[in-house]
Amino acid sequence: MPIFVLMREQTFYNKTRINFIFLGGVLLLFLIAPLTGMFLSLKAPNLFETIKDPQVTASITRTLLISFLATLICSLFALPLAYILARKNFPLKGVAEAIIDIPVVIPHSAAGIALLGFISRDSLLGSAASSMGFNLVGSPVAIGIAMAFVSIPFLINSARDGFAAVPLRLEKAAETLGATPFKIFTKITLPLAKRSVVSGMVLMFARGMSEFGAVVIVAYHPMTTPVLIFDRFNSFGLDYARPVAAVFIVVTVIIFLIMRIYQKK
């Protein structure tokens, strides 16, 4: 091949790479600039007061704990469903997959309205809880339900892709050796798909703890941190809401990085 052709191809490659780096850099700047601006505008006294504020610490603890428990509980139901979707073909499978993705595409305020009707005293679930002296609306249970509803598609879809990537021949080999379906799932399929499962759980946990639209409708009190940020902004303005947002972002980023490191290991 003539040398000038090679030089032209190399020049084209270099220009393409530079353009891609520029475009990617613009997007990264778009993502990081608002957060950087928020932290640079913080005043140290306000930040320290916020860190020591019992209402802030209580809301952060409540948010993380409820999202964590919702993720664990939903995993008991989501993983079997994800495995069935990955391994089985059945009538209306496409409909089932579409239903799973509904919470991702609908407005979360609309999801909150739907959930409010689902858990209110007039509903079957709400009336059953009321008969036992418990009101679901405005409770931590309602917060967990809202978090789970909007975030569980991330767990199901990630786990389904992980299960689908496990070679079927390994399951067949274990079956011929006399292993039960449950043992095959727990000893072979789940360990091999662990990375995708953990990734889905991390995404569900992160999405749940950041939820606002659905949570604020089913349970304004007790406040999660996203609701507290909105409440302080609405009541006192930006200067009171910004420190709470900054503290919550730092806490969530630290937790998210720890979970990501664990997932990679």
The rounded mean pLDDT for the chain is 89
Q: Express each pLDDT in 135-157 by its tens digit.
A: 899 999 999 999 999 999 999 99
Q: Is residue 32 domain-shared with residue 104, that is, in the same domain?
A: no
Q: Express each pLDDT in 164-187 by its tens digit.
A: 999 999 999 998 888 898 999 999
Exposure string (b/e) for 112-150, b if CB count within 10 Å is 16 or more? beebbebbbeeeeebeebbeeeeebbebbbbbbbbbbbb
Residue 41 pLDDT more than 60? Answer: yes
User: Average pLDDT for residues 129-133, to the nearest whole number?
Assistant: 86
Concatenated DSSP letters for 57-116? HHHHHHHHHHHHHHHHHHHHHHHHHHHHHHH---TTHHHHHHHHHHHHHS-HHHHHHHHH
Q: Percent of the chain scored above 70 by pLDDT? A: 94
Q: Express each pLDDT in 58-67 by its tens digit.
A: 999 999 999 9
pLDDT score at 142: 95
Instruction: State the Cα–Cα distance between residues 47 and 79, nearest whole angstrom.
Output: 41
pLDDT score at 214: 95
Residue 26 pLDDT more than 90? Answer: yes
Residue 129 pLDDT more than 80? Answer: yes
Helix and strand numbers (H, E) in the chain are 14, 0
CATH of the domain at 63: 1.10.3720.10
Residue 202 tokens, joined: 């991390």
Structural domain harbouring 185: 47-264
| More confident of the two residues 18 and 100 | 100
Q: Is residue 163 domain-shared with residue 55, that is, in the same domain?
A: yes
- The phi, psi pair for 127, rounded to 5°, reads -70, -35
Q: Is residue 22 domain-shared with residue 150, that is, in the same domain?
A: no
Residues contacting 219, CB < 8 A, separation 6+:
137, 138, 139, 140, 142, 143, 146
| Nearest of 124, 149, 153, 150 to residue 136 by alpha carbon | 124
Instruction: State the Cα–Cα distance between residues 210 and 153, nearest whole angstrom.
Output: 15
Q: Is residue 82 domain-shared with residue 203, that is, in the same domain?
A: yes
Q: Is residue 73 domain-shared with residue 116, that is, in the same domain?
A: yes
Q: Is residue 54 domain-shared with residue 35, that is, in the same domain?
A: no
Residue 75 tokens, joined: 């995993």
Residue 46 pLDDT more than 80? Answer: no
Residue 11 pLDDT more than 80? Answer: no
Torsional sign, CA 189, 190, 194, 200: positive
Q: Tell me the C-alpha to C-alpha distance, in Å, between residue 107 and each of 159, 209, 215, 223, 263.
A: 24, 17, 12, 21, 30
Instruction: Identify whether the C-beta of residue 233 lies closer than 8 Å to the C-beta of residue 223.
Output: no
Q: Is residue 14 domain-shared with residue 91, that is, in the same domain?
A: no
Compute and round to an integer the Cα radius of gyration of the chain: 24
Q: Is residue 205 domain-shared with residue 149, that is, in the same domain?
A: yes
Q: Is residue 183 domain-shared with residue 259, that is, in the same domain?
A: yes
Specify whether the backbone of 234 is left (phi greater than 0), alpha (psi in -120 to 50) or beta. Answer: alpha
Q: Is residue 53 domain-shared with residue 32, that is, in the same domain?
A: no
Residue 57 pLDDT more than 60? Answer: yes
Residues contacting 87, CB < 8 A, separation 6+:
163, 164, 168
Q: Is residue 65 domain-shared with residue 35, that is, in the same domain?
A: no
Report the 3 state secondary structure along 126-177.
HHHHHHCCCCCCCCHHHHHHHHHHHHHHHHHHHHHHHHHHCCHHHHHHHHHC
Q: Is residue 79 domain-shared with residue 32, that is, in the same domain?
A: no
Q: Express each pLDDT in 201-254 by its tens digit.
A: 999 999 999 999 999 999 999 999 999 999 999 999 888 899 999 999 999 888
* Distance from chain centroid for Cα 47: 27
Number of domains in the chain: 2
Residue 20 pLDDT more than 90? Answer: no
